[in-house]
Amino acid sequence: MAKIEHFTAEEIPYEILAKFGLTHEMIDDLPQNVMLRLLSSRATPVLPIITENAEGQLIQSFARISLVRLADDTIDVCFAPKWVDEDLEEFSIAQQELLKAGNVTVADMNGKGRCFVQFDEAINQVMAVPESIICQNISILKRNFNLSDADKAILEDGGIIEMEINHQIISAGIDLNDETGIRMANGDVIAWRQDAKADSLPRYNFGLFGCWIADEDNTLSYVAEEDYDEKLLSEQKRAQSMHAAEAQLRQLKI
């Protein structure tokens, strides 16, 4: 399978992110699972970014971000912006229903040929990868795990398969959010579907300098500590009390 690039915290290009309104403190305050995604080539949840238009006005919008290592070994940032409208017009009604339900399907894309496509609900965009690339990765998976032709066909049709490896059930299916386009999870098909939601965040995520707040769609917004209102101060105290209680419980178990 394709190599997944990993980064260290020291490699994060803070100066590039700062140009888009994501300060060093905001990045360092990202919830742990979001930081792990960022450092392993995966896209973050939707974050607020700031850009400047031709008139010099600052415009706030939203995007997923991911890190990429360039040929000269420097690190840059990729943005997947959130669109205001759904990008589904070129698909049939049946395909739109499949995509909105979270399924992967194959479609002829203008200028791209046949692609596996998946709808990213958080940013209202369709992800598309050429069919030949995903099929190549499926072929590698088939050889590595001795999959049957039937399992290969299920994957190529956008389905999810289960296999037993070292007496454990492993499931696999196409997920274009994954670096290889194929995501594997411990457990059965149900576990595979639940794994896609594993990065859901609590509403309040307090850091050293402020708090990332997640809405019902897992879109994040940031409030610096000096801007906390009474509600946030109350939530911070509650979170601190919970962490203190958890620490005491861990000590009792030692």
Q: Note the pTM of the prediction, 2 decimals.
A: 0.68
- Residue-by-residue DSSP string for 20-87: TT--HHHHHTS-HHHHHHHHTTPPPS-EEEEEE-TTS-EEEEEEEEEEEE-TTS-EEEEEEEPPSS-S
Taking the C-alpha atoms of residue 201 and residue 84, their distance in angstroms, rounded to an integer, is 23
Q: How does pLDDT run across 50-97, given as a tens digit for each residue?
A: 988 777 888 888 898 999 888 889 999 988 887 766 778 888 999 999
Taking the C-alpha atoms of residue 214 and residue 34, their distance in angstroms, rounded to an integer, is 12
Strands 113-120 and 125-130: antiparallel
Return the SS3 of 220: strand
Q: How does pLDDT run across 97-129, given as a tens digit for each residue?
A: 999 888 899 988 877 788 999 998 888 888 888
Cβ within 8 Å of residue 89, ≥6 positions away: none
Res. 198 pLDDT band, cuts 50 70 90: low
Cβ within 8 Å of residue 73, ≥6 positions away: none
What residues pair up with 210 in beta bridges, in sequence order? 224
Q: Which residues of 55-68 are buried (b: 16+ CB within 10 A; e: fewer)?
A: eeeeeebbbbbbbe
Q: How does pLDDT run across 13-30, given as a tens digit for each residue?
A: 999 999 999 999 999 999
Taking the C-alpha atoms of residue 33 and residue 218, their distance in angstroms, rounded to an integer, is 13
What is the amino acid identity at position 14?
Y
